[in-house]
Structure 1
Amino acid sequence: MRNTARWAAALGLTAAAVCGPLTGAAAAAPGAAPSSLYAPSALVLTTGHGTDAATATPERAVTLSCAPTASGTHPAPAEACAELRGVGGDLDTLKAEDGVMCTKVFDPVFVTVQGVYQGKRVAYERTFGNACTRDAVGGSLFAF
């Protein structure tokens, strides 16, 4: 009888140890409350000279994370995250600032943004006529 009690206790503890961590997985079911307060945000931004990804010469790359706080290797992460929030993460809606005057010299600059912003996949590529037009559109987001 003692062996049966020991086996039952050992089996119960083993089941609790193995199945205990699995109870968190049930909360991740569709429609359940999120297990984290912040949706993931981790982006890699690159810039270089050229007209597209195949011909652009990469010059600089930075990381940007906007949750829970602005961080990364971007020189102004708080301002860049504020710009992303301003367009709801939709980089295609970025517009040039009013009153910015740029020359018409064609020296193409290619920008990419890859990663996740507030849990949504981001894959953005854009060619600007020159660095001035890139900075007019991207503000601090592309200023690295």
Structure 2
Amino acid sequence: MRNTARWAATLGLTAAAVCGPLTGPALAAPAAPASLYAPSALVLTTGHGESAATAGPARAVTLSCAPTASGTHPAASLACAELRAADGDFEVLAAAGGGMCTKQYDPVVVTVDGVWRGQRVSYERLFSNECVKNSSGSVLFAF
């Protein structure tokens, strides 16, 4: 009788060890598919002063470019298209200007923080005045 109990216990534990893991995944919910797009979500700010630390943001907008352009940026679609064309190089977009502006020094600082195509980005650019910032020709900084 002792052998029967021992065999029953052994068979029960073996069945639990072998069949137990097989039932876990069957009961679990299927995993959600991974996103097809690398995240691209940015916060852009502008303020008056020599740096972001001293200026404080006067205005801030959000911009998300994947999978579609969205956010509070006034021209989100165009800004995302510019970023894609420049391969995410903010300096190229900031230096594209050439308009005529006064030489009055009233510094304006623009910052970009967030994620571009899955990579963390942080950018700060000082313009000598609002006109110089707007003459960069970039829709990205026109908010």
Which structure has the bigger radius of gyration? 2
Matched, 1:92 2:102: no
What corresponds to 1:134 in structure 2? 133
Judge which range, 57-66 or 129-138, deviates more: 129-138
Q: How does 1:48-127 map to 2 (within 5 A)?
A: 48-94=47-93, 95-98=95-98, 100-127=99-126
Find the aligned partners of 1:54 and 1:45 in 2 and give their Cα distance: 15
Find the aligned partners of 2:130 and 2:91 in 1 and give their Cα distance: 18
Matched, 1:14 2:24: yes
SS of equivalent residue, structure 1 residue 126: strand
Find the aligned partners of 1:56 and 1:12 in 2 and give their Cα distance: 60
Name the TM-score, length of structure 2 as normaliser: 0.78
User: Alpha-carbon deviation of 1:9?
Assistant: 5.7
Instruction: Give the conservation status (yes or no) of the 8 Å contact 1:96–1:133.
Output: no
| Gaps in structure 2 of 5+ consecutive residues | 1-7
CA-to-partner distance for each residue in 1:52-100, whole Å, 9 max, x for gaps? 12211321111000011100011110111111112110112222334x1
Judge which range, 8-17 or 105-114, deviates more: 8-17
SS of equivalent residue, structure 1 residue 137: coil
For 1:109, the aligned partner's letter is V
Larger helix proportion, structure 1 or 2? 2
User: Alpha-carbon deviation of 1:19?
Assistant: 9.6
From the superposition, tell whether residues 130 and 55 of structure 1 become closer, same or farther in structure 2 (CA, over 3 Å). same
Aligned length: 131
Moved over 4 A (4+): 6-11, 18-21
SS of equivalent residue, structure 2 residue 141: coil
User: Alpha-carbon deviation of 1:11?
Assistant: 4.9
